[in-house]
Chains A and B, each alone.
Chain A
Amino acid sequence: MSEHRPYGIAAEFDSADELLNAARAAREAGYRRMEAYSPYPIKELDEIISYWNLLPTVVFFSGVLGGFTAFYMQYFIAAIVFPTNIGGRPLNSWPSFVVITFELTVLFAACAAFFGMLFFAGFPALYHPVFRIPTFKRASDDGFFLCIEARDRRFHRNRTARFFQDLEPVNVWEIDE
């Protein structure tokens, strides 16, 4: 055991089933500050490890903003800055502004979805304590990890480690901060 303050304790499993059981058991034991790492998304984990997902809201309002921006830009240019008489149509000929309004709505919303995802996930983040686990490369291949973080109120070096050992994982790792 090192002298450093640990980031948390992680257990390594071989299957999604074992990971799910462990996550459920940890939640029942009262742990909240935990994170699961898996090579593909596991829907059932969403109920166990809660996350307040703001992304859809951000995307929606970005789309609305994009739509307003596009329409106002076209109105401003076609009716105020550079008014041109095209076949006697009104300057604010809004039906012909629909296409670009739609395109920019999509563009703004899509950029919000992509960059919002990076922002909420904290990316790019090339370093993270869990990368210290020697076998963590398996998390992008066939390994499943559950990490209980030291900031959890119930976290205790020995008790948390024992809790994991009872679940019979492949390995239990203590990770330095």
Chain B
Amino acid sequence: MTVLERQRQAARPVKPTDAGKPVVIAPGTTFRSVTDQIASIVLRKDVPPFWTWVFLTAALGVFMFIGAVAYLLAVGVGSFGINIPVAWAFAITNFVWWIGIGHAGTLISAILLLLNQSWRNSINRFAEAMTIFAVACAGMFPLLHLGRPWLFFWLLPYPNTFVIQPQFRSPLVWDVFAVSTYATVSVLFWYLGMIPDLASIRDRAAGRFSYWVYGILSLGWRGASRHWRLHETASVLLAGLATPLVLSVHTVVSFDFTIAILPGWHSTIFPPYFVAGAIYSGFAMVLVLAIPIRKAFRLRNLITERHLDNCAKLMLATGLVLAYTYAIEPFTSWYGGNQFEMAMVHNRATGPYAWSFWAVIALNVAIPQLLWWRSFRVRTVRLFLISLDVLIGMWLERYMIIVGSLNRDYLPSSWHQFASTAVDNMVLYGSICLFVVLFFLFVRTLPAISMFEVRELLPFSKPGGGTVK
């Protein structure tokens, strides 16, 4: 080895690691500008036309939803297209789909908090809001499917004159507890995080009414260091509690299926399969909401390319986990050698619902592979379209699992096909509209981005100045 070669090995030029890496918060952002920007979304009198038009369109859909639900309650669940053996169809598909969407919100707010991923600070608030509204939409479907929703309290253990109690060995009862706990914890976590920001809005409110409302909602927050300490302790504890909770909720949802002995449902891979799918669709919904909102409310300095890029990467990763479970499912059926399971695999790919299977493969596995290219992760229109594609794909996946498995059980004499009715379709579309209405109201009335957490991201927030990871 010559001297020159040794020198070349001993010292190589190093590319600066931060160069070209997109920032979490755009430069030029100050404490004052953060407060101004986020509080003004709530406090300004005018709204972007985008907000008004989407809100009005969705509100029309909500009226339709109310009509469809009223009809359903008057006529009964027979107005759904369900039959025996397909006793669960759209309602449960919608339930699993919506609750899955909620899970990415908890992942962003809780799991990424525990992992110290501070980039999440500017998207966690609306991701949590997304969780709550998605759980609200999800919770309606099992109730509507009960047939007599006004007797829903029969699901709960309470002293009653029938001397009848819930059957605690049934996953359907577990579901009641899992979903109601999840909804409660999500609301508490969301509200806890919002208290300091509600105080910021209170302090900026010009009108007496808004000062009053935000004053009461902020509970008298004054930013005292002891309160911050309690707030942080409570947030971290809630995040630590929400992390296993979010995994348990979708696991319990998957138990609804796996504990039945139906071919196509009775499988131990379901819990991780469902959780991966849930987070996958949830990130798709986060992007579907974030992309238009950052444009309409000019938040591109706070929700930057870096956020879109990271969310897209997480979506790609969970999508690959999901693709793996798609591959492992037929494998275990084949390896297990059960003829009913094999018939199920065959029926799924070639039977009456084969279209849903192939659509799922295309929408959830094939198309999202485009996210390997950076341009698909940061170019908003492309990313938006891929996210929509994933949302549709994930709905179809649940449809495939539920209807595609139920329509053929062990006895060919009981085989029956399912076709959706107008009420099915109206309730699905209506729930999407309800979600949009709730979310748009949230953006307009509550701080959609966490101000105090964004302040922490600014370089001069740390003593002596620091950088953001």
* Residues of A near any B CB (own CB < 8 A): 15-17, 20, 35-42, 44-46, 49, 51, 53, 55-56, 59, 63, 73-74, 77-78, 81-82, 84, 86, 89, 93, 96-97, 99-100, 102-104, 106-107, 109-111, 113-114, 116-118, 120-121, 123-128, 130-131, 136-137, 139-142
Contact = CB atoms under 8 A, between A and B. Distances in A.
B16 interface: no
Interface string B24-40: 00000011100100000
B233 A141 contact: no
A63 B177 CA distance: 15
A127 B184 CA distance: 28
Contacts, number: 197
A39 B463 contact: no
Interface stretch (B68-76, B166-174, B351-359): B166-174
A63 B244 CA distance: 14
B78 interface: no
Contacts of A93: 169
A81 B233 contact: no
Given A49-B225, A109-B237, A141 B177 contact: no
A41 B232 contact: yes
A78 B242 CA distance: 28
18 contacts: A16-B461, A16-B462, A42-B463, A49-B226, A51-B226, A51-B229, A59-B237, A97-B168, A104-B181, A106-B248, A107-B181, A110-B188, A113-B233, A113-B237, A113-B241, A123-B219, A125-B220, A139-B203
Given A39-B455, A78-B168, A17 B177 contact: no
B461 A89 contact: no
Contacts of A40: 196, 228, 452-453, 455-456, 461
A141 B234 contact: no
A77 B157 contact: yes
Interface in B243-284: 244-245, 248, 252, 255
B330 interface: no
A111 B232 CA distance: 15
A112 to B, nearest CB: 9
B192 interface: yes
Counting chain B CB atoms within 10 Å of each CB, the highest count among A38, A41, A137, A139 belongs to A41
A130 B460 CA distance: 26
The 8 residue pairs across chains A and B that have the minimum distance between CB atoms? A142-B31, A117-B234, A41-B228, A137-B203, A82-B165, A124-B219, A140-B200, A125-B220
A125 B224 CA distance: 13
A56 B233 CA distance: 7
Interface of B: 30-32, 35, 157, 163-169, 171, 173-174, 177-178, 181, 184-185, 188-189, 191-192, 195-196, 199-200, 202-204, 215-216, 219-234, 237-238, 241-242, 244-245, 248, 252, 255, 451-453, 455-456, 460-464
Contacts of A17: 463-464
A141 B200 contact: yes
B194 to A, nearest CB: 12
A102 to B, nearest CB: 6
A49 B223 CA distance: 14
B191 to A, nearest CB: 8
Contacts of B238: 110, 113-114
